[in-house]
Structure 1
Amino acid sequence: MSESTNPSPVAVAVAAPPESSTTASPTTVIESPTPATPPEDTTGSTPAPAVASVVPAVAAAQPNIEADEIDALEGDSAFGDDASEEHGRRYHAYRDGKYLIPNDETEQDRLDLHHHVFNLAFDGKLVHAPIKNPSRVLDAGTGTGIWAIDFADQYPEAHIIGSDLSPIQPGWIPPNLEFEVDDLEDTWRHKPFSYIHIRSLAGSIKDWPRLLSQALSHLEPGGFLEVVEFEVLLRIQNEHEIAFPPMIKKWQEGLHQAGEAIGRSFDIAPRLKDMLSEAGYVGVHEEVTRVPNSPWAKEKRWKELGLYQQHQMLDATSSYGQAHFTRVLGWSKQEFDVMSACCRRELKDLRYHTYSDLYVCYGQRPL
């Protein structure tokens, strides 16, 4: 995640990708509504252990998304959420403790919903790299396998392998797809691929340069690697009208601090282009799309995208953080639950025009 004290997520519009391999794509800025009154503090509890302030790099200028006229709050209070959704999270048994994101049914549902967010943001496009007739494809860190299944249906002549730490993928799959339990940070033993896909692994990988190097050595000459990551720090478009949501700020700063402490940084997305170039990929290309974190946008497309993103973010406040705050930062479960509930309340407050930058970066193995 990039460093910032005032992250702000907002609805997004993506500009046409540049021809140059070193130029980031432009993005659209959302138009904010009339100034809103800042919400009063709802924490009302003893402060949890402090986390270091994070100052993110400035994102590329993008056009603003026009905001809709909306009520400040929609939905019921986050404090009324079912407590069973907050406790008893299941984690990976394979190499237990290495990956701090749960793999239970709640998280699987969130991952599938997140796949829909990607589809909406990319207009249904599964691949950005200019691949032609791929023969062997690897979906590294496949999760529930939903992207791999869609890709296998779209490319029936290709053979796809989806690998993950957890065997949570469905049994009924296309005949040209197989899943395997594997650790991407081990030495790879696959035959070369024509295309490798990586998505949403920020905070999970210890050594990104090694991962990208292994992927390069397991590509056929001319093959492509594509990495898709959200910048974990949220940003706000209407910061001149309302202060950044305080509990979301505390949550993302804690994630950043915990990730750095265990050597699994969330600060990955804005660095992908440089990392691929340094690893030896050629024709490196980057695209950035702004994704609103709630349905505050006026235009129908961004409002729908923001609605789905909001729902997956409501679960993400628990998935991304419970283990990080309690195991790494020393918070109590009660302290984390209070912060998580406050974050969800802020995500439902449409006065906050927050957005997340979604990065796509791909490069090619030299011929």
Structure 2
Amino acid sequence: MNTLATSAEETIAVDDTDHSSDAEDDGALSSSSVASSVRAYRSEHGHRYHAYKEGSYAFPNDDIENDRLELQHNIFLKTLDGRLHLAPINKGLHNVLDVGTGTGIWAIEFADEFPSAKPPRWLERLLRQCPSVPPNLTFLIDDAETTWEFSYKFDYIHGRALLGSFGNWPRFFEQSYQNLEPGGWLEMQDIALPPTSDDGTLTEEHTLYKWGHLMVDAANKIGRSMTAPTNYKTWMEEAGFVDVQEFRAKWPQNGWAKDRKFKELGQWNQVNLEEGLHGFTMALFTRVHGWSKEQVEEFLPRVRSDIRNRKIHAYWQTYGNRFYFLPPYPYSYPSAQ
């Protein structure tokens, strides 16, 4: 089954042959000033966070989270049948931007796949001193929420798992449009909260349900929507993109699904959720909801219990979008694959 073709209405079949236990596991600022601020980390409740803009990004950036992001990269690859992208980009592209690159694993693999994508000339000398990354890749620390001030435009802009990263999503898409070459592509891959179920097995009484809605509520209060991916398509069209295509997939919360691919996605996602749960939750619940660390740590084991429960057929809705920039003059478009 191709999960990319999964519509929002398609129900994932439950594996009725699984007799395992229900709880079984399977810009405006200079780059240098932004970089200095970003590296001024804050430690809080056992995690390391960005201190930039008083920690407006509520998720950690410590080693535990970086390891989880590497795992999540593989879940995205599994979802896309091993592909790094959906847009029908050609091998001859030059300038590519990966927004919010995280550990850089996507960018590194993309740079290897597209050796023609080269950095600006003034970076070439510096990059020769960085043998750990492909020679056509560089990392820039800057604030993507401020005005983008690139001296060149991009053939392809990519953003993945940016949930909670922007307070003004329409502006992000407008700037992406303005910084693309004619005929360029913008592609987004993201996850939306809260988790849900098609068969009613996730109810308001479950702690997982309560957790998801508390996360959404806290994020809304600080202007960092957790439901933003549901509006990406509309915002792209308003920014001027055409041929906006949206693909939806589902990540089960554990291995409850019958279909082999969904089952594997669920097994991977269970590890992803359990490893990230403490970091996802702590800052939003303590800073916004006013919970104590002890209250959060008493609450989370019940969330984990629901994540492991095979009788709860919950999933996270994921969105894969590709957006086409219509040029102002005749242009030979790459054919869709």
- The TM-score, its normalising length taken from structure 1, stands at 0.76
Aligned position for 2:186: 225
Tell me if the contact between 1:92 and 1:102 (Cα under 8 Å) persists in the aligned partners.
yes
Q: Does residue 65 in structure 1 map to residue 13 in structure 2?
A: yes
C-alpha distance in 2, partners of 1:13/1:92?
A: 37
C-alpha distance in 2, partners of 1:184/1:101?
A: 17
C-alpha distance in 1, partners of 2:179/2:291?
A: 41
Q: Which secondary structure does the structure 2 equivalent of 1:360 belong to?
A: strand
> Could you report, residue by residue, the CA deviation over 1:246-278 in whole angstroms, capped at 9, with x for unpaired residues?
211111111111111111111111111111001
Query: Comparing both chains, which one has the higher relative contact order based on Cα–Cα distances under 8 Å and sequence gaps of 6 or more?
Result: 1
Q: Does residue 119 in structure 1 map to residue 77 in structure 2?
A: yes
How far is the alpha carbon of 1:245 from its aligned partner?
A: 6.1
Once the two structures are overlaid, the 10-residue window that deviates more, 243-252 or 139-148, is 243-252
- Of all paired residues, the percent bearing the same amino acid is 38
Q: Does residue 154 in structure 1 map to residue 113 in structure 2?
A: yes
Equivalent residue for 2:303, pick from 343, 347, 354: 343
Tell me if the contact between 1:244 and 1:352 (Cα under 8 Å) persists in the aligned partners.
no
> Could you report, residue by residue, the CA deviation over 1:113-161 in whole angstroms, capped at 9, with x for unpaired residues?
0001001111111111111222110000000001101101111111369
Structure 1: 5+ residue stretches without partners: 1-11, 17-25, 28-59, 77-85, 162-169
Q: Amino acid of the residue matched to residue 119 of structure 1?
A: L
Q: Does residue 187 in structure 1 map to residue 147 in structure 2?
A: yes
Aligned position for 1:202: 163
Tell me if the contact between 2:243 and 2:324 (Cα under 8 Å) persists in the aligned partners.
yes
How far is the alpha carbon of 1:64 from its aligned partner?
A: 2.5
Alignment of 1:85-96 (within 5 A): 87-96=45-54
Q: Amino acid of the residue matched to residue 64 of structure 1?
A: I
Tell me if the contact between 1:139 and 1:196 (Cα under 8 Å) persists in the aligned partners.
yes
In the alignment of these two chains, the number of paired residues is: 297
Q: Which secondary structure does the structure 2 equivalent of 1:285 belong to?
A: strand
Q: What is the root-mean-square deviation in Å for CA atoms of aligned residues?
A: 2.1
Q: Which of the two has greater helix per residue?
A: 2
Q: Which secondary structure does the structure 2 equivalent of 1:357 belong to?
A: strand
C-alpha distance in 2, partners of 1:229/1:242?
A: 22
Cα 1:273–1:209 change in 2 (3 A) is: same
Alignment of 1:228-247 (within 5 A): 228-239=189-200, 243=203, 246-247=206-207
How far is the alpha carbon of 1:13 from its aligned partner?
A: 5.3
C-alpha distance in 1, partners of 2:229/2:99?
A: 17
Tell me if the contact between 2:202 and 2:313 (Cα under 8 Å) persists in the aligned partners.
no
> Could you report, residue by residue, the CA deviation over 1:12-36 in whole angstroms, capped at 9, with x for unpaired residues?
95364xxxxxxxxx43xxxxxxxxx
C-alpha distance in 2, partners of 1:181/1:15?
A: 32
Equivalent residue for 1:211, pick from 162, 166, 172: 172
How far is the alpha carbon of 1:201 from its aligned partner?
A: 1.2
Cα 1:242–1:291 change in 2 (3 A) is: closer
Aligned position for 1:316: 276
How far is the alpha carbon of 1:340 from its aligned partner?
A: 1.6
How far is the alpha carbon of 1:61 from its aligned partner?
A: 0.8
Q: Which secondary structure does the structure 2 equivalent of 1:345 belong to?
A: helix
Q: Which secondary structure does the structure 1 equivalent of 2:223 belong to?
A: coil
Aligned position for 2:3: 14
> Could you report, residue by residue, the CA deviation over 1:273-325 in whole angstroms, capped at 9, with x for unpaired residues?
11100111111110001121211122332222111111011123222221111
Q: Which secondary structure does the structure 2 equivalent of 1:350 belong to?
A: coil
Q: Which secondary structure does the structure 2 equivalent of 1:234 belong to?
A: strand
Q: Amino acid of the residue matched to residue 69 of structure 2?
A: L
Tell me if the contact between 2:203 and 2:209 (Cα under 8 Å) persists in the aligned partners.
no
Aligned position for 1:173: 133
Tell me if the contact between 1:295 and 1:303 (Cα under 8 Å) persists in the aligned partners.
yes
Q: Does residue 364 in structure 1 map to residue 288 in structure 2?
A: no
Cα 1:183–1:171 change in 2 (3 A) is: farther
Q: Amino acid of the residue matched to residue 142 of structure 1?
A: T
Q: Which secondary structure does the structure 2 equivalent of 1:111 belong to?
A: helix
Aligned position for 2:64: 106
Tell me if the contact between 1:13 and 1:63 (Cα under 8 Å) persists in the aligned partners.
no
How far is the alpha carbon of 1:244 from its aligned partner?
A: 5.6
How far is the alpha carbon of 1:96 from its aligned partner?
A: 3.9
Tell me if the contact between 2:84 and 2:110 (Cα under 8 Å) persists in the aligned partners.
yes
Tell me if the contact between 1:206 and 1:263 (Cα under 8 Å) persists in the aligned partners.
yes
> Could you report, residue by residue, the CA deviation over 1:167-218 in whole angstroms, capped at 9, with x for unpaired residues?
xxx9711111111111110111122000000111112211000111111100
How far is the alpha carbon of 1:101 from its aligned partner?
A: 0.6
